[in-house]
Amino acid sequence: MTRIFSGIKPTGHLTLGNYLGAVRRWAEVDQHRADALFCVVDLHALTVDHDPARVRRLSRQAATLLLASGLDPELCTVFVQSHVDEHTRLSYLLECVATDGEMRRMIQYKEKAARERARGGSVRLSLLTYPALMAADILAYGTDEVPVGDDQTQHVELTRDLAVRFNQRYGHTFVVPRATRPEVAARVMNLQEPLSKMGKSDDSGPGIVYLLDEPDTVRKKVARAVTDSGQDVAYDREKQPGIANLLEILASCTGGSPEALSGEYRSYGALKKDTAEAVVEVLRPVRERHQALCADPAPVDDVLRRGAERARELARPTVDAAYRAIGLLPAAG
Ligand code: TYM
């Protein structure tokens, strides 16, 4: 059976980008067609300046939102990365296979490091080595497919390179995974800055729709979305990035295609209105289920405990095999 693994980082509140680019597909498609694992990758949240209490809170919220989005623990495995030691055990080995040049070439590293430096802050070493941990997340489970948004494809490519290199040097140990992406909304853009990705750790609140935003907040944010100076509603990511973004969001929410939808609108106002309503309707059940799940944390804890147990069982043999293959002496006993 196909094995799927993907993760989400608790560095901020989950956004519409996370949902349309990744989480919704995990719930609607992936968990039904494969042996799928979905992980709140909390160790990755420590790679930038962080507040311990906030990371803890956001980790629980992310796990609850995954369940509220429709991940069903009877169908898939949901767990928290730091509950399964195999991730960090394997990450070190992959740091011994990767080069520093490879890590420095990662676009996300370059962008985030530049941002941290511009703020006068220092860059944590873990921000540079992050892709080795991400590769470990994936390779520990013999993953075939990694459903992600566009911004993660470079990291998955690196994961493939590391798997192939390890296998060639030390003998076949890892499945070589591949990234899968949604047909539309693989890169939802910030409503205020349609040339930048809608990212959960960004500061520009008005351009980001959060999964837990109230309907009226969603309506306001979409109504104020930056559009382009022209008048026509055309699907052109280069010339009309703001409109193209709205068309992609609408298409993703309603199941249409952005090109076809562009022909149905004569005004930006009408497009914004329909997009806002489509987003409100898509997010409504998620918000409602989230509220219900928050009433009692015990069942969520239980899902995470069982998820971590299963994840550990799955990962241990592969990580043990990697330790042997790379030349480490097995502990006696
Ligand atoms: P993260 O937490 O930034 O995002 C989680 C998922 O949401 C997708 N995504 C988007 N898709 C479309 N438009 C957007 N604006 C948008 N923003 C985010 C991301 O592509 C991702 O699929 N490094 C990863 C987490 C991770 C991981 C892994 C993923 C760690 N280990 C192993 C897969 C497999 C990250 O920071 O995702």
Residue 325 Cα, ligand 1 centroid: separation in angstroms? 30
* pLDDT number for residue 204: 64
Residue 7 Cα, ligand 1 centroid: separation in angstroms? 7
Query: Per-residue pLDDT tens for 201-243?
Result: 766 689 999 999 999 999 999 999 999 887 789 999 999 999 9
Report percent pLDDT > 90 for the chain. 94
Residues that are catalytic:
112, 197, 200
Query: Per-residue pLDDT tens for 146-163?
Result: 999 999 999 999 999 999
The verdict on pTM exceeding 0.95 is: yes
Residues of the chain short of pLDDT 50, as ranges, are none
Hey, which of 151, 193, 195 would you mutate to test ligand 1's pocket, going by the most ligand atoms within 8 Å of its Cβ? 151
Six-digit token string for 167: 């296998």
Torsion-angle region of residue 171: left (phi > 0), alpha (psi -120 to 50) or beta?
left
DSSP, res 29: I
> What is the amino acid identity at position 80?
V
Cβ of residue 148 lying under 6 Å from some atom of ligand 1: yes
Question: What is the separation of C-alpha 50 from the centre of its chain, rounded to a whole number of angstroms?
Answer: 19
* pLDDT number for residue 202: 66
Spatial contact of 282 and 188, defined as CB atoms under 8 Å apart? no
Cβ of residue 198 lying under 6 Å from some atom of ligand 1: yes
Six-digit token string for 312: 């550990």
Give bridge partners of residue 146 from the DSSP assignment. 179
* pLDDT number for residue 247: 97
Spatial contact of 143 and 3, defined as CB atoms under 8 Å apart? yes
Write down the H helix ranges in the chain. 16-18, 24-25, 31-33, 52-68, 86-95, 100-104, 107-118, 125-139, 153-170, 215-223, 241-254, 258-262, 268-294, 297-326
Residue 304 Cα, ligand 1 centroid: separation in angstroms? 20
Q: Which domains does the chain have, with CATH numbers?
A: 3-181+297-326 (3.40.50.620), 205-292 (1.10.240.10)
Spatial contact of 237 and 244, defined as CB atoms under 8 Å apart? yes
